[in-house]
Amino acid sequence: MLQDLAAVDTHPLAATAARYVGLLPLIPLAGFLVNGALSLIPAYKRGPGDPSAAGHDHEHDAAAHAHAVDHAEQAGAPGDDHHAVARHRFAGVTSVVGPLVLVLSFALAVAIWLAMMGAGEMNTPYVQRFFDWMVTGDLKISWAFQVDQLSMVMVLVITGVGTLIHIFSIGYMQDDPGYPRFFAYLNLFVAFMLVLVLGASYPVLFVGWEGVGLCSYLLIGFWFSDKANADAGKKAFIVNRIGDFGFLIAMFLLFANLGTLDFTRVAASASSLGYDSALVTTICLFFFLGCAGKSAQLPLYVWLPDAMAGPTPVSALIHAATMVTAGVYLIARSGFLFAMSPTACITVAVVGTLTALFAATIGLKQWDIKKVLAYSTISQLGYMFMGVGAGAYAAGMFHLVTHAFFKALLFLGSGSVIFAMHRAYHHTGSHEDAQDMRNMGGLRKYMPVTFVLMWIATLAIAGVPPFSGFFSKDGILGAVFARAQHGALAEATWLGMPGSAVLYVLYALGLVTAFLTAIYMTRMMLYTFHGPNRTGEAERAHLAEAPWSMTGPLVVLGVLSAAGGWLNLPAALPIGPVGVLEHWLDPVVGAATAAVAGTASEAVTSTEYFLIGAAVLIAVLGIAFAVARLKPAALVPKRDAVPSHGFEHVLEEKYYVDEIYDDAIVQPLVSGSRNVLWTGIDRGIIDSLFVNGSAVLARGVGWIGSQLQSGETGAYAWAIAIGALAVLGAFTFR
Amino acid sequence: MISEALFFSAVLFTIGVVGVLTRRNAIIIFMCVELMLNAVNLSFIALSRLHGSANGQVFVLFVMTIAAAEAAVGLAIIISIFRHHKSVDLRNINLLKG
């Protein structure tokens, strides 16, 4: 402990902005407190209850009172025409405080980052302890934050992209009665997310991990007066519990075997677990179970598509850019453990690849624009796990960063589209689906800025050079191919199969997924922005671009999506500084990467050019295929659509996974709980036997006692005499 | 000498116990209780002499004092029972229910 403190004092970051790292989560937390307090003030003079409930009341009120706001002038929050009536009384304060705390956090993050740049080579993390959190027996956990290259990448993404999304949310949400509540939750989410990535030990990380889960739940169910939204929030929360169980078990195993949970100490003593031992594999797989829950991998991905019930900025921030990538971060952070277990590594890569492929096929046939993006997110998260599973931690993190850019852009762009659609339908009082692509079409004429930016993001996610997604996806696929050729994973066996063969298959499936990605993204763009408009004659006149407060953040994200690839250029394409991010992350994940990859030569070979060429060809072919096959002109609006048949229908119904889970797990659980646990055990044994049984027993004993008490003095005298004899006898003959 | 005294005390005590258990007349039972008390007194005196200590005799004086008070209270209760029931036969009386 003393040595640690000394080490902190002499750390190159000790006297820099990094010493204020504790403020990073506190600033958004302050925003949460302010906005949370505002949200407790009822929005309207009548109805002191919840703002949303008050909104309902007000809707009826508005017609009756002359001073009430004019319905037609209020666009309201898209996707939610029931609640939006009027602005909250303190919307102006929230508009300032909500994004401002994010700007301040981002500024502090940049200051710390600049300090790290100034400090030069930094091979040990800067750990700042605030107080002892849990001290019992051998367990000693401090509330400590850790600043290193990996956490800094995450902090910059969270605060940077978070700031843009907060600014976007002003325009998107300000007509919602729950506006301050929305920003309170959003600020709280950022605070917990920063705790997650800054925590210096697994328990502190876990606090953030659970905190973001809570905020996710609150924001998915933001419009909780619709039962479907509340159910979606519950589903996300419950599915994540399964993953968190795995996380906890892994932590317990680590503590039982190593006696510590600090990242630095676990990393130092991890080798005592034994290379490729059953123990380290178990720990890694339990951690991965946690990741599969949080990052929506097979088989726990089902909550993420439903999470689209939340407002679109929430989908962009939490369910695309930051929270769902926490699992990738956790594996990169635990690289020292995963590098010791090739079995766990290949498992992560296999699950990631299968998820990527599975979700991409579903994305092919979705009609809800946000559902397409949701499955696309699951698919891209699968790519990230493919990367970190193959021990390419830098490549996985690179894809995390670029995905944060282009997926946030896609979600915010779709939000902008939904906003316009919703406003148009609101003007005419229509109840058509504002999120269904069959009701869109031809929007490029009405929303040119969104149109161009969405195409940039689409090209990025499809992997077309020179956009960011091309470089990051190529990095992952190239790493998987390289691991298949040589290194610890190629020599390992996985379920009796040679690791090399498994990885070659994964690479091929990765290419197939890239092809599908290009198709479903192009399909989304074609149906949304191209072809004739299907919104409706009356509504068409009201379609318009969103205000600049919303398109501004989109432009910034568009630049990042286009140029993000320069963060980590491959050695084969030296059109700028090569491998910046990889070099930056080297002190954290370099040792783990080397352990998995072996001493492979990094020389550029013709194979690499072939791989790059294949990836580009696949992406271009996918886009061309979609353009050639899909006919937006032939599409009919949602209300006229005919049901699909065969495999198409299976895809549209998402392989019936929700139904299968419902029949195989949920219903047996419900009926088992009702018939066995409730009727049998609770009512039968506990209620009847224990609760009522003890009453019957007491009454019976009392009845016997009352019979003895006859009131006959003679009987009492006999009882006394016999009792006295018994006592005397006991003393005499003991 | 001492064993005779204790034997006599035991006989008196047993007679008292048997009387309490078998008789029905409240007055007789009451007298049997007094008999038991005096049997104990006799033991006290005998043991006091055996140990050469006055403690036992002091106890006897206490017991006799208490017994006198108890006799007064007990006879008063019996009289009031008789006034109420016109009988002192305990078979007819079961008032000592909880």
Instruction: Single out the residue of A190, A171, A191, A187 nearest to residue A91, CA to CA.
Output: A171
Q: Which residues numbered 65-94 in B keep a CB inside 8 Å of some CB on A?
A: 90-91, 93-94
For strands A493-494 and A126-136, give the pairing.
unpaired
Tell whether B80 is covered by a domain.
yes
Q: Which stretches within A48-178 are classed as H helix? A: 51-64, 91-119, 149-173
Query: What's the rounded Cα separation, in Å, for the pair A716 and A722?
Result: 10
Contact B24, B88 (CB under 8 A): no
Residue of chain A whose alpha carbon sits nearest to that of B98? A709
Tell whether B38 is covered by a domain.
yes
Tell whether B97 is covered by a domain.
no
Number of domain units in chain B: 1
Of A709, A714, A721, nearest to B97 by CB-CB distance is A709
Q: What is the pLDDT of residue A496?
A: 87
CB contact under 8 A, B98 and A709: yes
- In sequence order, which residues have a C-beta less than 8 Å from that of residue A322 and are 6 or more positions away? A157, A158, A161, A162, A193, A212, A404
Residue of chain A whose alpha carbon sits nearest to that of B91? A712
**Chain B residues within 8 A of A719 when measuring between CB atoms:** none
Q: What is the pLDDT of residue A7?
A: 52
Task: Show the tokens assigned to A448.
Answer: 């040119």
Query: What's the rounded Cα separation, in Å, for the pair A199 and A197?
Result: 6
Query: What's the rounded Cα separation, in Å, for the pair A466 and A559?
Result: 12
Tell whether B32 is covered by a domain.
yes
CB contact under 8 A, A714 and B94: no
Contact A112, A152 (CB under 8 A): yes
Domain containing residue B7: 2-88
Tell whether B22 is covered by a domain.
yes
CB contact under 8 A, A717 and B20: yes
CB contact under 8 A, B95 and A711: yes
Query: What's the rounded Cα separation, in Å, for the pair A642 and A648?
Result: 12
**Residue A728 distance to chain B (closest CA, Å):** 14
The H-or-E segment that residue A127 falls in is strand A126-136
- Mutate: best of B14, B15, B17, B18, partner A, most A CBs <10 A: B17
Neighbour-count burial for A537-560, b at 16+ CB within 10 Å, e otherwise = eebeebbebbeebbbbbbebbbeb
Contact A454, A539 (CB under 8 A): no
**Residue A716 distance to chain B (closest CA, Å):** 9
Instruction: Single out the residue of A185, A192, A190 nearest to residue A161, CA to CA.
Output: A190
Q: What is the pLDDT of residue A187?
A: 95
CA distances to A650, A662, A664, A666 from A659, rounded to whole Å, are 12, 5, 8, 9
**Residue B95 distance to chain A (closest CA, Å):** 6
Residue of chain A whose alpha carbon sits nearest to that of B17? A721
**Residue B93 distance to chain A (closest CA, Å):** 7
CA distances to A69, A366, A418, A451, A463 from A524, rounded to whole Å, are 37, 9, 14, 12, 16
Query: What's the rounded Cα separation, in Å, for the pair A468 and A462?
Result: 10
Query: What's the rounded Cα separation, in Å, for the pair A283 and A344?
Result: 9
Contact A399, A567 (CB under 8 A): no
* Beta bridge mates, A174: none
Tell whether B95 is covered by a domain.
no
Q: How far apart are the first and last CA of chain B?
A: 47
Angle between helices A580-597 and A393-428 (to 10 degrees): 120
- The amino acid sitting at A13 is L
Residue of chain A whose alpha carbon sits nearest to that of B16? A721
In the block, residue with structure tokens 């920003």:
A183
Tell whether B20 is covered by a domain.
yes
Instruction: Single out the residue of B74, B76, B94, B78 nearest to residue B25, CA to CA.
Output: B78
Query: What's the rounded Cα separation, in Å, for the pair A618 and A610?
Result: 12
Of B21, B93, B98, nearest to A721 by CB-CB distance is B21
Q: Tell me the per-residue pLDDT of A607-648, one tens digit each, with 9 for 90 and over.
A: 888 888 999 999 999 999 999 988 888 888 887 778 888 888
Q: What is the pLDDT of residue A43?
A: 65
- pLDDT beneath 50: ranges in chain B: none
CA distances to A511, A590, B14 from A345, rounded to whole Å, are 20, 16, 92
Size of interface A-B (CB pairs under 8 A): 28
Residue of chain B whose alpha carbon sits nearest to that of A708? B97
- pLDDT beneath 70: ranges in chain A: 1-9, 43-86, 599-604
Residue of chain A whose alpha carbon sits nearest to that of B25? A714
**Residue B62 distance to chain A (closest CA, Å):** 23
**Chain B residues within 8 A of A716 when measuring between CB atoms:** 96
- Mutate: best of B15, B18, B21, partner A, most A CBs <10 A: B21
Tell whether B93 is covered by a domain.
no
**Chain B residues within 8 A of A703 when measuring between CB atoms:** none
A722 touches chain B (CB under 8 A): no
CB contact under 8 A, B96 and A717: no
Instruction: Single out the residue of A722, A515, A492 nearest to residue A617, CA to CA.
Output: A515
Instruction: Single out the residue of A348, A333, A347, A345 nearest to residue A267, CA to CA.
Output: A333
CB contact under 8 A, A721 and B91: no
- Mutate: best of B14, B20, B24, B88, partner A, most A CBs <10 A: B20
Of A706, A716, A718, nearest to B96 by CB-CB distance is A716
**Chain B residues within 8 A of A717 when measuring between CB atoms:** 20-21
CB contact under 8 A, A721 and B94: no
Contact A304, A323 (CB under 8 A): no
Q: Which residues numbered 7-36 in B keep a CB inside 8 Å of some CB on A?
A: 17, 20-21, 24
Backbone Cα Rg of chain B: 16
Query: What's the rounded Cα separation, in Å, for the pair A434 and A92?
Result: 27
**10 Å Cβ neighbour count for A249?**
17
Query: What's the rounded Cα separation, in Å, for the pair B62 and B69?
Result: 11
- Mutate: best of A703, A708, A713, A725, partner B, most B CBs <10 A: A713
CA distances to A23, A32, A513, B11 from A35, rounded to whole Å, are 18, 5, 42, 95
CB contact under 8 A, A710 and B17: no
**Chain B residues within 8 A of A704 when measuring between CB atoms:** none
Of A706, A711, A718, nearest to B96 by CB-CB distance is A711
Q: What is the pLDDT of residue A637?
A: 81
CB contact under 8 A, A710 and B94: yes
Instruction: Single out the residue of A390, A395, A570 nearest to residue A466, CA to CA.
Output: A570
Q: Could you tell me the CATH number of the domain that includes residue B81?
A: 1.10.287.3510
Residue of chain A whose alpha carbon sits nearest to that of B96? A711
Contact A86, A96 (CB under 8 A): no
DSSP state of A122: -
**Residue B91 distance to chain A (closest CA, Å):** 7
